[in-house]
Structures are given as C-alpha cells and as structure tokens.
Structure 1
Amino acid sequence: MPADTSAEDPNRAILAAWRAESARLVGALTRMTREVELAEDLAQDALVAALEQWPTTGVPDNPGAWLMTTAKRRGIDHFRRADVLRRRIDDLGRAAGGQEQAMPDLDDQVDHIEDDVLRLIFLTCHPALTAESRAALTLRLVGGLTTAEIARGFLTTEATMGQRISRAKKTLSAVRAEFELPTGQERISRLDDVMAVIYLIFTEGHTATSGPDWMRPELADEAMRLARMLATLAPDEPEVLGLLALLELQGSRMPARIDESGLPVLLEAQDRTRWDQLMIRRGMTALQRAESLAAGGTPVGRYFLQASIAAQHARAARPEDTDWRRIAWLYDVLAQAAPGPIVEVNRAVAHGRAFGPDAGLAVLDAVPAGSPGDTPLVPSVRGDLLERAGLHRAASEAFTAAAARSRNESERALLLGRAQACSMRVEK
C-alpha cells in the first residue's frame, strides 16, 4: 500500500529525500560501479523515477531505500545492455534469475554508508581538480544541489557551470581517480583540500565576492551542512571540528549582518540578540571537543585557531566586552601557523582594536604590496584604522579606493557611505 501523502507534498518529499540521501546514494553507486559519472547518472535516473511515480503512488516509507533500490535496478539494466562482466551485476545486487525483489536496499549497506560518503568527499576534492571545480563538484555530488543552484550561487550561467562539472568528472576518469580513502600523508593533504573547499563555499556565501547581495545564505548553509557531515564522519580530527566550530560561530551572526533594508551591518554595529544562539552552542561544543583532542596531543591548525577567535566574539554580549588583546594574540599565533596576507590584514584589525590604530597600521604597512590581490580588503581596513585615528581625509580616500575594487554592490555602497561620512567630518 502506498504511503499516505495527504499531509505531505510529494515534490517537497522528493527534494528533502534527495538532499538527505544523494551523497550516500552516489557514494554507494560509485563504490559499486567505480565510475563517478555513471553513479551520478544512475542516481539521477532514480530521482526522475521518483518525480514520475511518487505523486501517483505516494511517498514510500523509506525514501532513501526506494531511491537506492531503483538506482541499483537501473544499474543492472545498464550493465546487462552493455554486456559487461557478470561480476559487476553481482556487485550491484546479486539479483538471481531476474528476481529484483531480492535486491538489497539501503539498510543492507549500513556498514558502507559512512565510508562511502567520506570517500565521495575525498573524491570530489581530488588534487587533479582546480579549487573552483572541487567546490562545484562537491556541491553537486555531496551537497545534492542542481547545476542551476550551483550556477546561481557562483553567479555564472547554468551552461558554464554544467561544463565545469562535466570537465571535472572527465578529469577524474582521465587520471583514474581511485574511490578509496587515501592513507598517510596523502590523506592528511587531501583532508586539508576537503576543508579548504568547504571553507571556500562558506566564505562565498558569508560575503559574496560579486553581485548585488552582501551574502548568499544558501551557499553558507550548504557549507555548514557539509562541515557537519564531515565532522560526523571524522569525529576525532580537531581541525575538522575546528572548521565546524568556525562556520557555526560565524554563521550565527548572519541574521544580524543585514538591516531591514538589506544593507550590510558591520560586526560592531550588529544587534547581538539576533545572533543564532543554537548555532553558537553547536560551535562552542565542537570547539570544546577540538580543545580536548588538542590537550591529548593531537595537533591543531588554522581552523581551530580561527574558531577560537570567533569564540571570543561569541562570548562578548556587547562590542565593548570583546577581548581584543586575546584576539590579537590568537592572530599572532595564527600568523605563525598559517602565514599569509589575509591573516596579516585581519591581524592588523585586531592589533588596531587592542593597542590603537597606529599599531594596526604598522601591521598593515608590512603587508606586501599587491597582496592579497585586487580586492577591497587592504584599503577598507586601512580606511577603518585611519578613521579611528581621526585622519578622516585619508580615511575617505582609502574607503573610496576600496569601493573601486569591490565587485559586490552592497559592499561598494557600504564603502562609499563610509567615505562620504569621513568627508563630511573633514568639511566640518
């Protein structure tokens, strides 16, 4: 008897099931077929079947198992048509004598599910792919997003994103990427790539590099979901927990990062009662777990340190309660552990708040010219420090220069507004 759909919209149920199960589905099928492109095609076939059947037959009691069973049946049909080795048919379900009711469902794969998803995450972050391709393929295969959704998130056309994803899958085939968890140093380096991709996705969602909107919440939300998944699959990796803590703590501020008109609101002006307390608790819990592992001798790195910095903001009920000296010290440690121009610019902000704008400007002046690229980051921070030092004319010029570099309309408007406010102070 079909499941009762009176209280459930089949299309919503299909979307929810796909988002929840697609990574497990594609992961299991990749393990069975050893072909990521074929695995995704089979999963997509199962999704199409659900779209065709569920509105009529009703939502099954176990949507994930239904999708898995359907995908396996399509896989068996594919291999039979291609006349490949019987061994592959056996791997897909050992359906003897055409009795497809004997096909194992998702519950029979319980011993493989977590490994399959983790393998899939490592596969989508293969070093043969560019960072952009890794992000797109991760969102597609692990996140379950459509090509159109990914294209919207990165402000490109669906056709362009489709080509990027297709090239990425072909690259994996060309290099004969193994669907096995890497070991030793390769696993460590690949895990760094996985975390970097998730953080890249979150960063683009948290503060968009271009377009009309200050944020792209759907990307940030998906990155947080991926980080939670990774932390579930690798619960004893302090850096994974640090990444999760960082995303939860930074993500908790997103409701307060725009005002009623959709305009950006900087950290010190935010209404902290709008920060998401559940996300803060989750972030703190992940950070505490990472701290306990670090206390046992497990090394930590950039994500743990950045999460520790974010925690200082989360603990401050008011902006003036922020322990900027502690934050400055943490940035000093981060600069040693993961040196780079972006860290130095943020360290300048921290030193400017902790020890005065001149201290911040001294750190900023040491950042190599041209770093970190043609972005508004350096001139915007310089403008902020100059404004705090009372040098309003120079601050206005810095904010104007920053606005000229920004490709985000909301950010540009914010910077021009700060430039104008400084100019008005000069005129007075």
Structure 2
Amino acid sequence: MTVSVKERVEQVYREESRRILATLIRLLGDFDLAEEALHEAFFIAVERWQRDGVPDNPRAWLVSTGRFKAIDVLRRRARFAASRPLLIAQLEELEQADWSDEDVEDDRLRLIFTCCHPALAADAQVPLTLREVCDLTTEEIARAFLSAPATIAQRIVRAKAKIRDAKIPYQVPTLAELPERLDSVLRVIYLVFNEGYSASIGAQVTREDLTREAIRLGRLLMELLPEPEVMGLLALMLLHESRRPARTSSSGELILLDDQDRTLWDSQMIAEGSALVERALGTRRFGPYCLQAAIAAVHAEAPSVEQTDWTQIVGLYDVLLRAVPSPVIELNRAAALSKRDGPLAGLALVEAILERGELLDYHLAHSARAEFCRQLGRVEQARQAYERALELTRQEPERRFIRGRLRGLR
C-alpha cells in the first residue's frame, strides 16, 4: 500500500520531532522559538514534499528548514525591536553556526542535562525534560507526579525563562560535574520509561516509542558514565521491557503478571539486564535503581509465579524502603508479601497506607485493595474499591479490566 506524503510527514513527526526540536533548541538557544520553528518546518514539509518528493534525510531537511524559518522570525523582530543590536548579533551567530546531522543523536542527551541544570528549581527539572525531550503532555506529567496540570505548567514556564535569562549552556557536563547532575537525569529517564511501560492515559497499555527512547538514553548515559546506578536503571528498564510482549493480548487487553505467557518474554533482554544487575551489585555502591533491578531480575528468572522467590523479593523491598521510604514502594511490597503470606497480610499494608491519607488518588492502591478483598471473599469491599479505582483510571485497557473484575463479583 502506497503511503501518502501526509502520512509520511506524520510518521516522521512521531519518530523524529523530539530529536529535531532538541537540535533546534541547541542551534537557536530558545525553547519557544525552536518549537515555533519545528511546527513551521513540518507545515512546509507537507507542501514541499508533495511537490518535490520526500528528501533522503528528512530529519536534516527539517532542521535546516526550521533554522531558516527562525532566522526569518529574528529578522522581522530586529526591524522593530528596541533591542535591535542584540537581535542582529543573535542573527549573525545563527547564520554562521555550523551543524552536522551526526551531532543530532546526542542532542537529546544535551537537552536533558540542560533541563536538569542545578540552577533550575528541583521540582521543575523533571517536568521540563519530560515535556521538551519526550513530548509528554502536561496532563501526563501531572499524573506521573500526582500533581495538578496547572502547577506543572507553571513550573515548566518558569524553568524555560530561567534557562533563557541565565543563559544556561546547552551541553553535557564535564566528568567532574556529572555526579551532582546524575540523580535528576536518572529520574527523568525512569519516568519516561514508566510512562511508556504503563501509559497513564489512552487506548494502549504501553507506548513503545517512550520505552525505546528511555532505553536508548540509558545506553548513552552508560557510555558517558558507567556508574552502578546507571547500570541499575538500564538493567531495570531492560528487564521490564522484556515482559512487554506478554502484557497485552492480541486484541490489546491487559494481562497481569500471574497470567502472562513467559515464553513471550525476551530472553536476550533478560540476560543483558541480569548481567548488568550482577555487575552493579558487585561494586557494593548500589542504590535504589540497582535494588529495583534486582527485584525485576528475580521475577524475570522465575519459570512461573509459583516458583518465584517471594521471600527474596520481600527482603529486597525491605532494603529498598530503608533507602527510599515511599508509599508506592510500600504498595509494591504489599503485593509481594501477599504472595508469600496471603492476601490478608497484603490487605493490612494497603489499608494502612490509605488510612495515613497517602495514595488516596492513586488507582493502583485501590485496585490492590480490591484484589485482596476479592481473594478474601469480601465482595462488597472489593466492589467499592474497584469502583474507586475505575473513577481514577484513565487508561482504557485498565478500565476494561476493572469492569471485568466488577462483573465477576456479581
């Protein structure tokens, strides 16, 4: 079937737009101007490619077109602005700047480090990166942070202004600067992967474009700084990604871990991830990502749910909770504990979390409570918990799964 030019432009936008934007931000030094130039370039592409054909290197064509459109914008501004000398200087610098398509691969990593610069407010670094590098919507980011979209939007606007006004450099830090910048970058990549592995909203359980991009960034970071926590994060992503083909049915329905066909798991990813876990733990300088990867490795290497070493998993969660106290980690530990000690033990932990007022708006907490109640035969409590989970869930396959559980209670 012949692909139309419009469909080809849309495909390039899906696959390349964030790389193109990252390069335009590097060239232009201005987030808003780069975004405007990006959209202008794609608009022009629909007409030009229809007439002249799709170029051999669409990404390079779009970067060049976007750059020239930005130069036109700056020329118009320079005619009327009071700051004309500054704009003229910016124009001259932009017109003389050299760039190569070979640089583009590293531009997203440069952009991540710019967005995670220590001069920016800590609570703005990750939202800005998720928005600009990964094209997550403000609503998706707010959901990842259990925060209001308006709050996230304000943080992003302030962070962009800070980068512009403080002239924060668009570059990967020196080796001496890397360690202090690493935590925010790891957290960004982790949140990108999570949004891809379990999409917060939409018609699909997973978003392969985000998981693939997070793993690519993780590999880039490994080349730059092969620290234990970088190894741990890359291992964690590989081990989770190995299970993605088994997480949905052929019709896109959600399949829980207990019911997954483990023959569909990617053995090469499991082997690579497990080797990275061993390497990281061997340094004895491991942290939360290594511990989470170790938990994922125990799951990945088990032939079945029944043969999983739940005692080891609970023990690893205990260590993880001491390192990073978190109600979400407590919730995950409750699920593991229920496998070892029964649903009543899991339910007690989940109810304790909810009684503290934590995770009240987190659908997975109510889903876990509902599941434990269902297993214990507490039908009315299970129904109430599933209904609350359904109110909070925005991903369609999860909503269908919960509705199926509710029908089963009847």
TM range (shorter): 0.7 to 0.9
- Is the contact made by 1:242 and 1:305 (CA closer than 8 Å) also made in structure 2? yes
The whole-number CA distance in structure 2 between the counterparts of 1:303 and 1:245 is: 9
Higher mean displacement: 75-84 or 166-175 = 166-175
TM score, norm. by length of structure 1? 0.73
The whole-number CA distance in structure 1 between the counterparts of 2:399 and 2:75 is: 58
Cα distance change of structure 1 residues 163 and 363 upon mapping to structure 2, 3 Å threshold: closer
- Is the contact made by 1:65 and 1:105 (CA closer than 8 Å) also made in structure 2? no
- 2:160 maps to 172
Higher mean displacement: 38-47 or 379-388 = 379-388
The whole-number CA distance in structure 2 between the counterparts of 1:268 and 1:204 is: 17
- 1:372 maps to 359
- Aligned identity (percent) is 35
User: 1:224 Cα shift?
Assistant: 0.6
| Per-residue deviation, residues 157-213 of structure 1 (Å, max 9, x unmatched) | xxx9899769834651156362445646751342244235325523651xx4x77x5
User: 1:338 Cα shift?
Assistant: 1.5
Indicate whether 1:75 and 2:77 are aligned: no
Paired AA for residue 313 in structure 1: H
TM score, norm. by length of structure 2? 0.75
- 1:289 maps to 276
- 2:110 maps to 119
- Is the contact made by 1:335 and 1:344 (CA closer than 8 Å) also made in structure 2? yes
| Per-residue deviation, residues 57-77 of structure 1 (Å, max 9, x unmatched) | 112222222222222222332
- 1:345 maps to 331
1:317 aligns to what SS in structure 2?
A: coil
- Is the contact made by 1:246 and 1:310 (CA closer than 8 Å) also made in structure 2? yes
User: 1:289 Cα shift?
Assistant: 2.9
The whole-number CA distance in structure 2 between the counterparts of 1:29 and 1:344 is: 42
Indicate whether 1:354 and 2:344 are aligned: no
1:92 aligns to what SS in structure 2?
A: helix
User: 1:307 Cα shift?
Assistant: 2.6
- 1:272 maps to 262
Higher mean displacement: 57-66 or 245-254 = 245-254
Indicate whether 1:330 and 2:316 are aligned: yes
2:303 aligns to what SS in structure 1?
A: coil
The whole-number CA distance in structure 1 between the counterparts of 2:258 and 2:8 is: 41
- 2:382 maps to 399
- 1:88 maps to 90
The whole-number CA distance in structure 2 between the counterparts of 1:8 and 1:261 is: 25
Instruction: Choose from 307, 313, 319 the match for 1:321.
Output: 307
- Is the contact made by 1:375 and 1:405 (CA closer than 8 Å) also made in structure 2? no
Cα distance change of structure 1 residues 22 and 179 upon mapping to structure 2, 3 Å threshold: farther
The whole-number CA distance in structure 2 between the counterparts of 1:151 and 1:366 is: 31
The whole-number CA distance in structure 2 between the counterparts of 1:413 and 1:26 is: 36
- Is the contact made by 1:129 and 1:171 (CA closer than 8 Å) also made in structure 2? no
User: 1:29 Cα shift?
Assistant: 2.5
User: 1:418 Cα shift?
Assistant: 4.7
- 1:194 maps to 188
The whole-number CA distance in structure 1 between the counterparts of 2:19 and 2:6 is: 20
- Is the contact made by 1:24 and 1:113 (CA closer than 8 Å) also made in structure 2? yes
- Is the contact made by 1:36 and 1:169 (CA closer than 8 Å) also made in structure 2? no
